A and B are shown apart, each in its own frame.
Chain A
Amino acid sequence: MPTEDAPDDLMPHPSFVTVDGLEGRLARVELPDGTTEDWPLASLPPGVKEGDVIRLTVHGGDLEAEIDHAQTHERLTAAQADTDALNAGAPTGDVDL
Chain B
Amino acid sequence: MKRALCLLALSLGLAHAQRAPAGVLTIRFLDVGQGDAILITSPEGKSVLYDGGRSESRMRELIRQYDVPSLDLIAASHGDADHITGLIPAAALFKPRFLLNNGVAATTQTWAKLTNILKLAGTQGLPARNQVLNLGSVRLTVLPPPAGMPAGDQNLNSVGLIVQYGSFRALLTGDSETEQTRAWLRTLPGGTLGPVDVYKSIHHGAANGDSAAWLAAVQPRNVVVSVGPNNYGHPTSTALNLYRKVGAAVFRTDLQGTVTVTVQPGGAYRITTEKGAATPAAVPVKPAPTPAPVVPAAPANVTYPNCAAVRAAGKSPLLRGQPGYSSKLDRDGDGRACE
A30 sits at the interface (CB 8 A):
yes
Q: Is A95 an interface residue (CB 8 A)?
A: yes
Interface 1/0 per residue, B122-161 and A, CB below 8 Å: 0111110101111110000000000000001111000000
Contact A18–B232 (Cβ < 8 Å): no
Interface residues on A, range: 35 or more
- Does B81 make an interface contact (CB < 8 A)? yes
User: A83 and B125: CB pair below 8 A?
Assistant: yes
Across the two chains, which residue of chain B brings its CB closest to A53? B107
The one of A76, A85, A97 in contact with B73, judged by C-beta atoms closer than 8 angstroms, is: A97
A95 near B126 (CB under 8 angstroms)?
Answer: yes
- Is A50 a contact partner of B152 (Cβ separation < 8 A)? yes
A55-97 Cβ-contact flags toward B at 8 Å (1 or 0): 0000000000000000010011011101111111111111111
- The answer to whether the Cβ of B115 comes within 8 Å of any Cβ in the partner chain is yes
Q: Which residues in B have some Cβ–Cβ distance to A below 8 Å? A: 46, 48, 54, 72-73, 80-82, 97-99, 101, 103-113, 115-116, 118-119, 123-127, 129, 131-136, 152-155, 206, 231-233
User: A49 CB to closest chain B CB, in angstroms?
Assistant: 7
* Secondary structure call for the A interface: mixed
Binding site for B on A (CB under 8 A): 18, 20-21, 23-24, 26, 28, 30, 34, 36, 38, 49-53, 72, 75-76, 78-80, 82-97
Query: Given the complex of chains A and B, what is the CA–CA distance between A92 and B82 in angstroms?
Result: 29
- A28 partner residues in chain B, CB cutoff 8 A: 80-82
Task: Report B-chain residues with C-beta under 8 Å of the C-beta of A89.
Answer: 124
Main SS class of interface, B: mixed
Contact (Cβ within 8 A) B111 A34: no
Query: In whole Å, how far is A47's beta carbon from the nearest beta carbon of chain B?
Result: 13
User: Which of A20, A93, A97 contacts B108 (CB under 8 A)?
Assistant: A20
A87 in contact with B232 given A30-B81, A34-B113, A50-B153 (CB within 8 Å): no
Task: State how many angstroms separate the Cβ of B15 from the closest Cβ of chain A.
Answer: 30
If A34-B110, A87-B126, A88-B125 are given as contacts, then 9 extra A-B residue pairs at C-beta distance below 8 Å, sorted by A number, are A20-B106, A28-B82, A30-B109, A76-B105, A82-B115, A82-B116, A91-B124, A91-B126, A94-B134
Contacts of A86 in B (CB 8 A): 99, 101, 115, 118-119, 123-125
From B98, B113, B116, B153, give the contact of A95 (CB < 8 A).
B98
Q: What's the Cα separation between A96 and B154 when bound, in Å? A: 27
Known: A79-B115, A87-B127, A95-B134. A23 touches B232 (CB 8 A): yes
Q: Are the CB atoms of A96 and B101 closer together than 8 Å?
A: no
Let me know if B107 and A76 touch, CB within 8 A. yes
* Separation of A91 and B124 alpha carbons in the complex (Å): 9
